[in-house]
Amino acid sequence: MPAFSPGLPAFGQLLMVGLPGPRLDPVARELVRDLRVGGIILFARNLEGPEQVWELTQNLQQEALAAAGKPLLIAVDQEGGPVQRLREPFTIIPKARELGLTATPQEVERLARQTARELAVVGINMNLAPVLDVARGPECPLYERSYGSVPELVAAYGEAAIRGYAAGGVLPVAKHFPGLGDTLRDSHVELPEAQGKDPARKIDLIPFRRAIVAGVPAIMTAHLQVPEWDTRPGTLSPVAIQTWLRQNLGFAGVVMTDDLEMGAIAGRSPVPQAAREALAAGADLLLICQKVDAAWKAAELLAADEELLHRGEEAARRLGRLRERLKPSQVSRQEVKDFFRLA
């Protein structure tokens, strides 16, 4: 693998960014061709239907291969319940809380495999799921998105989902480390604080330990303050990422941040500075979902900081190994039509 050379493209590959619309417009082309971002995340504004999504992902991958010689990570939040960007004719997934009460792990695995097959056929290769937060009760903002309040149950369903997504052809991402299940505030709006006082966070870490053993390739951090660990949010904390996730839990895969534009982080520091802190803390893939100019400014700030060169090189190696696992899609437009017609 070539040496990591300072500059915007070198640090651009550490970014996963949102696009403004449903087509490969000039903004999207510049992000892929010039900034050479490592990943794209898709939202409702980018999604009109199976054939359009297939066309968008095909065009994005063609640009990426021409510019950087490697495929993009193309991700979506297709958890189920309130968080599923792709609607019918894609499978509508029940809330995780409902699945935890009414379905078996085997049924969750089959559902995840079917979901992954649908994503893969339109060119999406990463699903930002499963949620492994152990939500204690309805007061937790992630209550409906959590499989339950028993850590072993959450772990079992999480493992099943990871197996299903992988079998269906997409990369799963376990979230949100180190667990938002004991929080009372929504990190989209403000910084939540862990309410549990156990410094080892035994309840919250059980699902993540088992997901790592199950081979999950990527874990997303939470914008969460654990007072017993650090004054900084987990996304910006070397204690959370390097001490706990890397050393104590032994995770060697890709660490990605939750969206750095969320209120919990943006209320604390500008997005480019947050990207710098997250990379320095040990994150590999930096998520910026909305503002394109924030992605460019973040890459500029990272590239100008010589102290981040080693950390950037390390992150690029991990992401490079993950992207090497991606296989170019051979699916035609007609095959997309036929898949969803038959489904």
H or E element at residue 267: none
Q: Is 133 helix (H, G, I), strand (E, B) or coil?
A: coil
pLDDT band at 328 (very low <50, low <70, confident <90, very high): confident
pLDDT tens-place string over residues 24-77: 999 999 999 999 999 999 999 999 999 999 999 999 999 999 999 999 999 999
In tens, the pLDDT along 231-259 reads 999 999 999 999 999 999 999 999 999 99
Predicted confidence band of residue 319 (pLDDT cuts 50, 70, 90)? very high
Catalytic site residue 310? no
Distance CA 95, CA 143 (A): 10
Q: What is the DSSP string of 54-75?
A: HHHHHHHHHHHHHHHSSPPEEE
Catalytic hit among 77, 182, 204, 258 = 258
Show the domains of the chain with their CATH numbers: 89-342 (3.20.20.300)
In 185-210, which positions are buried (b, 16+ CB within 10 angstroms) versus exposed (e)?
A: bbbeeebbebebeeeebebbbbbbbb
Token output for 46: 């980018």
pLDDT (tens digit per residue) in 187-205: 999 999 999 999 999 999 9
pLDDT tops 50 at residue 1: no
Strand 126-127 with 83-84, pairing: unpaired
Catalytic, out of 188, 198, 310, 338: 188
CA angle 249, 245, 171 (to 5 degrees): 95
pLDDT tens readout for residues 126-168: 999 999 999 999 999 999 999 999 999 999 999 999 999 999 9
* Catalytic residue status for 133: no
Please, which residues have CB within 8 angstroms of residue 143's CB and are 6 or more apart in sequence?
97, 135, 137
**pLDDT classification of 3: cutoffs 50, 70, 90:** low
